[in-house]
Amino acid sequence: MLTKDTFNILCLGDIVGAPGRDILQHELEGIRNEFHIDFVIANIENSASGFGFSNKLYHEFIHMKMDAFTSGNHVYAKREVMDKFDIYDRLVRPVNFPDSHPGKGVRYFEKDGKRIALINLIGRVFMTQMPYCPFETMDKLLGEIEADIIIVDFHAETTSEKQALGWYLKDRVSLIFGTHTHVQTNDYRRLSNKTAYISDIGMCGAFDSVIGMDATISIDKFIHQLPARHQPVRHPEQSVIGAVMIGVDPKTNHIKTIETIHRVYNNERN
């Protein structure tokens, strides 16, 4: 269990459109207080209508007291952010994208005397991008990083690639958590005293959906095999918050505990 005696980090799964934003607006503060959270990380690459993020939403999330943001394959989906990427100093994009891409893949944060390194990686299996090898990228990075706590968001499609990277980074990072599939896995664990792991932390969005998107559109696309524009559920009856939390020993920086959140809420406001 997380306690006031540990340094507690909350990592929120992909925020999918308005349903994800709305449920966090109402519930995040209570979760922060319930689990004595010291630092909040959120994946925002699906926060604007299910694809990308916007300048307006980025600042709304800061107003919600989120400390740092990760992303993935949709990070550049909104053209409006391309020319402003330098101002998004709390956001990381996949570090194994080409160096010419806007943004940074590693950022440092200071909180309560702790130096936190946040890294975003993207996988290569079944992904449309052609990134550099995530394993070799991490080997190079970890020789340069100096931090008390190292957090890795691995945005990837397959559990095998995620688990392989988890074992590869054992004892070299504090937490590696998967995003992108939007379905929370039940394999969270400590790989060692220094490293915690989970294949996917899930999402924040509409519960009665296909990974946060309108189920009817998804079903039709699979049946008819025709192009269709996915969109988040407009007015879901229920929303879900998926996340992972770790408690870090403030003296040794070892992982004391890892826990998940998978909470479904009735949207009586709708």
Q: Give the pLDDT confidence score for residue 270 in this predicted structure.
A: 44
What is the pLDDT, as a whole number, of residue 229? 86
**Which pLDDT score is estimated for 86?**
86
- Where are the domains positioned within the chain? 7-266
- Give the pLDDT confidence score for residue 129 in this predicted structure: 85
Please report the pLDDT score of residue 26 as a whole number. Answer: 97
> For the stretch 189-216, what's the b/e string if a residue is b when 16 or more beta carbons lie within 10 angstroms of its beta carbon?
ebbeebbbbbbbbbbbbbbebbbbbbee
Q: Which residues of the chain have pLDDT under 70?
A: 269-270
pTM score of the predicted model: 0.96
The pLDDT score that the predictor gives to residue 269 is 53
Question: Which residues are known to be catalytic?
Answer: 74
**pLDDT at res. 168:** 98
pLDDT digits (tens, 9 = 90+) for 29-84: 999 999 999 999 999 999 999 999 999 999 999 999 999 999 999 999 998 999 88
Q: What is the dihedral of CA 218, 130, 146, 178, to 10 degrees?
A: 20
pLDDT at 128: 85
Q: Could you confirm whether domain 7-266 is CATH 3.40.1710.10?
A: no
